[in-house]
Amino acid sequence: MKVLAIESFGAFLGRKGDRIVIKKKKEKLAEIPAGNIDLIKLSVRGVSASMDAIYLALKYNIPIVLTNKNGKPLGVVLPFTYRGLVNVRKRQFEAQDSPIGVKIAKALVYAKIANQAQLIYVLARTWKKLSSDSKAALMGARNSMLDYLKKLDKIRGESCEEVREQLMSIEARAAQHYWHAFSRLTPKELEFHERVKKGACDVVNVMLNYGYAILATDVWLSILKAGLDPWAGFLHANSQRRPGMVYDLMEPFRAPIVDKTILHLVSLKKGNLQSYLQDCRLTPEGRSLVAEAVIERLRNQIRSGGRRLTFSDIILLHARRIALRLANKRPYYKPFLWKG
Amino acid sequence: MKVLAIESFGAFLGRKGDRIVIKKKKEKLAEIPAGNIDLIKLSVRGVSASMDAIYLALKYNIPIVLTNKNGKPLGVVLPFTYRGLVNVRKRQFEAQDSPIGVKIAKALVYAKIANQAQLIYVLARTWKKLSSDSKAALMGARNSMLDYLKKLDKIRGESCEEVREQLMSIEARAAQHYWHAFSRLTPKELEFHERVKKGACDVVNVMLNYGYAILATDVWLSILKAGLDPWAGFLHANSQRRPGMVYDLMEPFRAPIVDKTILHLVSLKKGNLQSYLQDCRLTPEGRSLVAEAVIERLRNQIRSGGRRLTFSDIILLHARRIALRLANKRPYYKPFLWKG
């Protein structure tokens, strides 16, 4: 996925024929054929655009995301004629109350745990200066997580609601092993003891939360492109507070995209990571650090099904596969299992 | 509804604190508190905007529509955290297969025919230089249309699919009377013989089609604001080609908003209206003429339920009422009956 991100204060997005032109103080910085762009990100601080350029993007079906200066999504420009795959969405809502939704929810939890286990396995083998104690603890955690996959397999149900609690419980218990193993890889002075979603005040959790928000952008756009309703999830119950399908599809990608990236930052910066936190929030430098690293990771190509694809491509592929499953154009949905 | 429409070539939409600032060649044209704006329309020809101003609009939950220079919608900016009323959409899809959807579809067809009949009635009494023959023909058409309302009343069904053909047939037969009466009010030289949706080549039909496209913008936005899925209709079947719920909700508003406006233009311009057509398309002047007149009409206040509301307000009110009916927060949906 080719992303055009315009974040520089004073930059202007213009149009010249079928090309996007980027200027700053009347100087031309770049000129790119619209056909070569998959996604445009515009920072809301100090960036402007001609509506004509926005229109060109709409014509080429290029999503435009408005972001804060760190790439966190604030808004999205959608074409008015956006072709909704309305029957796919109908099936999506129906599947919430059928075994189809149950199976997709199970597949996503499966991939989440499997990919977490895979990350722990990779780290146990490659992490520098790991004591044999720690290595054994990591492999133990990994094995416990793989055990939960077997438990998961046995769950059956006629509606997502019926199995939600069981799935969530398995996911949570596997997560305890995962985060415990994860904490062994972070220096003591960073005080990462457990995973905290809201109100986190240690730098690792705060960075994870920020990274997940960036991942959510890509997932959200992919879900829109696939014609799904972002709010109607299988694993996550319908709620006005959060887009269930976005949270569902994110699950398998959290460990390989965000967690691995944050651990890499931890290993680079060690105790100094602390300096990116102020009053339980990331400093501007901290936000840039995480945003750049996660976006870089999203643009990483990996080998998948014989092809070389970026993580962004793979997320879109999986949104489309869920849509195809719901439209009954595939007999099952196979989630993303990371080989990393 | 307070609409800020920026169509002037060279105009720039900026931000100053919590106010939207409009500039042209560095000269300030206007400065409006964001809280005073309900909708921003930006032409894609020669207009630019700072993303900061767009962000201010997002924060104030102001939809931003990108239009061509005549106000026809091309794209829409939506906040990323757009709170989807996901359970309302679930009910919307379910209602397609239940008597709830059947009743809403019936209510909308009822209001469409009733409002068409009302327009004919009003015109029979007020249209200048109407022969007594024509007057009698109009009243006759009106009575035939009212008869169809009784036929409509008898339709029962368990799903929209079951009754769709019957509803469409009644609507089509009533429409024949309506458009025949309508044609009596257009000068012979305009050659309006019947209603043509696609490939129309007479100025009245071409203007009607253009007017409906503008009405569709307001309806579409209202449906999004109400949290409904624009593509899932009750009267109109699910289709990738067209947003069924938009077409559904438009029905009662076509006659009082668009048809009446076009007839008004006909009475003003008479045979000269022909000059706005070239190769079966409206000239730029023709498009402006229709766009300005329809938008003006949408901002017209009328008395409704003891309040003074614009037609735009009423459209939003009805989108919300359909959502409330689907969420089971109202025992029935009462459509918009124009007293005009």
Cβ–Cβ < 8 Å for B101, B95: yes
Cβ–Cβ < 8 Å for A57, B69: no
- Tell the CATH superfamily of the B3-77 domain: CRISPR-associated endonuclease Cas1, N-terminal domain (3.100.10.20)
Q: Which of A44, A220, A240 sits opposite B52 (nearest CB)?
A: A44
- Chain A residues near residue B11 by CB distance under 8 angstroms: none
Tens digits of residue pLDDT in B155-203: 999 999 999 999 999 999 999 999 999 999 999 999 999 999 988 999 9
A75–B80 CB contact, under 8 Å: yes
Cβ–Cβ < 8 Å for B214, B294: yes
Q: Give the pLDDT confidence score for residue B43 in this predicted structure.
A: 86
Q: Give the pLDDT confidence score for residue A85 in this predicted structure.
A: 82
A49–B52 CB contact, under 8 Å: no
Q: Which of A76, A90, A232 sits opposite B238 (nearest CB)?
A: A90
- Tell the CATH superfamily of the B86-326 domain: CRISPR-associated endonuclease Cas1, C-terminal domain (1.20.120.920)
A217 to chain B: nearest residue by CA? B80
Mean pLDDT of B283-308: 89
> ipTM of the assembly?
0.83
The candidate with the shortest Cα–Cα distance to B99, out of B326, B315, B320, is B326
Q: Where are the alpha helices (DSSP H) in chain B?
A: 51-59, 86-95, 99-126, 132-153, 160-184, 203-225, 244-253, 260-269, 284-298, 311-326
Cβ–Cβ < 8 Å for B215, B294: yes
Please report, as a single letter, which amino acid is at residue B152.
L
* H or E stretch at B234: none
Residue keyed to tokens 């999506």: A92
Q: Give the pLDDT confidence score for residue A81 in this predicted structure.
A: 63
**Maximum Cα–Cα distance for chain B, whole Å?**
63
Query: What is the rounded CA–CA span in Å between residue A254 and residue A247?
Result: 10
Pairing mode, strands B73-79 and B64-67: antiparallel
A78–B78 CB contact, under 8 Å: yes
Return the percent helix, strand and coil in chain A, to nearest 5.
55, 15, 30
B51–A45 CB contact, under 8 Å: yes
- Chain A residues near residue B80 by CB distance under 8 angstroms: 65-66, 73-76, 217, 220
Residues of chain A with CATH 1.20.120.920: 86-326
Query: What is the rounded CA–CA span in Å between residue B150 and residue B154?
Result: 7
Tens digits of residue pLDDT in A130-189: 899 999 999 999 999 999 999 999 999 999 999 999 999 999 999 999 999 999 999 999
Residue keyed to tokens 């939207």: B20
Query: What is the rounded CA–CA span in Å between residue A106 and residue A164?
Result: 9
Residue B218 has pLDDT above 90, yes or no: no
Q: Which two tokens stand for residue A214?
A: 């960036």
Mean pLDDT of B247-276: 95
Cβ–Cβ < 8 Å for B67, B221: no
B220–A80 CB contact, under 8 Å: yes
Tens digits of residue pLDDT in B8-36: 889 999 999 999 999 998 899 999 999 99
Q: Strands, DSSP E only, in A97-136?
A: none
Please report, as a single letter, which amino acid is at residue B55.
Y
DSSP letters of B69-99? Answer: TTS-EEEEEEETT----HHHHHHHHHHTTSH
- Chain A residues near residue B51 by CB distance under 8 angstroms: 42-45, 47-49, 66
Cβ–Cβ < 8 Å for B81, A76: no
Query: What is the rounded CA–CA span in Å between residue B204 and residue B119?
Result: 17
Angle between helices A132-153 and A160-184 (to 10 degrees): 170
DSSP letters of B148-214? Answer: HHHHHHT---SSHHHHHHHHHHHHHHHHHHHHHHHHHTS-GGG---S---SS--SHHHHHHHHHHHH
Residue B94: how many CB atoms within 10 A of its CB?
16
Q: Give the pLDDT confidence score for residue B305 in this predicted structure.
A: 79
Mean pLDDT of chain B: 92
Cβ–Cβ < 8 Å for B223, B245: yes
Q: Give the pLDDT confidence score for residue A1 in this predicted structure.
A: 62
How close, in Å, is residue A250 to chain B by CA atoms?
16
Q: How confident is the model at residue B311 (pLDDT cuts 50, 70, 90)?
A: very high
Residues of chain B with CATH 3.100.10.20: 3-77
Give which of A66, A86, A238 to mutate to test B binding, by max B Cβ within 10 Å.
A86
Residue B68 has pLDDT above 60, yes or no: yes
Cβ–Cβ < 8 Å for A73, A216: yes
Q: Give the pLDDT confidence score for residue B303 in this predicted structure.
A: 86
- Per residue in B208-222, is it b (16+ CB within 10 Å) or e — as a string? bbbbbbbbbbbbbbb
How close, in Å, is residue A96 to chain B by CA atoms?
10
Coil, strand or helix at A108: helix
Pairing mode, strands B64-67 and B39-43: parallel
Query: What is the rounded CA–CA span in Å between residue A181 and residue A166?
Result: 23
Residue B216 has pLDDT above 70, yes or no: yes
* H or E stretch at B128: none
Q: Give the pLDDT confidence score for residue B26 in this predicted structure.
A: 85
How close, in Å, is residue A320 to chain B by CA atoms?
16
Q: Give the pLDDT confidence score for residue B81 in this predicted structure.
A: 62
B51–A52 CB contact, under 8 Å: no
Q: How confident is the model at residue B133 (pLDDT cuts 50, 70, 90)?
A: very high
Q: Which two tokens stand for residue B337?
A: 């009956």
**Residue ranges of chain A with per-residue pLDDT less than 50:** none
Residue keyed to tokens 């705060």: A206
Cβ–Cβ < 8 Å for B231, B244: yes
* A-B Cβ pairs (cutoff 8 Å, strict): 138
**Maximum Cα–Cα distance for chain A, whole Å?**
63
Tell me B275's DSSP state.
Answer: G
Query: What is the rounded CA–CA span in Å between residue B69 and residue B73?
Result: 10
Residue B82 has pLDDT above 60, yes or no: no
Query: What is the rounded CA–CA span in Å between residue B339 and residue B198?
Result: 30
- Per residue in B165-174, is it b (16+ CB within 10 Å) or e — as a string? ebbeebbebb
Residue B236 has pLDDT above 70, yes or no: yes
Q: Give the pLDDT confidence score for residue A76 in this predicted structure.
A: 84
Tens digits of residue pLDDT in A197-227: 988 999 999 999 999 988 988 898 889 889 8
